[in-house]
């Protein structure tokens, strides 16, 4: 009886391990040059999105995800003013761009905005 219970426990654990999925993207943030993606297991992945032309592959990051950054070319007036002011003061690149970040992989996709909305 005890052996049957042990066998059932081993099968249950093996079944759960088979259902384990790779960690999925939970957040994405941009700086002027770097895309930072955080996965569900706490892994942090980075890519130089600006040098890559706004699209590329996050490797080695989970199973490997593709990304695409679409910058908002004409943000609201307050943001344009703030960006212009920081550039005029010599702080180029301090204000991260507003953008949509799309992460794809394994037949799924995730969309984020950066900077994230204030809640």
Q: Is the dihedral of CA 102, 19, 45, 105 positive or negative?
A: negative
> Of 3-7, 38-42, 106-110, which range is least confident?
3-7
Q: Is the pLDDT of residue 17 over 50?
A: no
Q: Residue 71 phi/psi, 5° resolution?
A: -75, 140
Q: Is the pLDDT of residue 14 over 50?
A: no
Burial class of residue 68, CB neighbours in 10 A (0-12, 13-18, 19+): middle
């Amino acid at each position: 009886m005890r052996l049957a219970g042990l066998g059932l426990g081993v099968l249950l654990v093996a079944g759960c391990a088979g259902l384990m999925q790779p960690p999925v993207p939970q957040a994405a943030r941009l700086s002027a040059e770097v895309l930072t993606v955080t996965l569900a297991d706490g892994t942090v992945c980075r890519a130089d999105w600006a040098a890559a032309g706004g699209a590329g592959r996050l490797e080695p990051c989970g199973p490997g995800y593709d990304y695409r950054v679409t910058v908002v070319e004409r943000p609201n007036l307050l943001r344009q003013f703030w960006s212009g002011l920081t550039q005029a003061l010599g702080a180029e690149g301090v204000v991260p761009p507003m953008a949509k970040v799309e992460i794809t992989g394994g037949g799924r996709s995730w969309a984020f905005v950066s900077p994230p909305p204030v809640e």
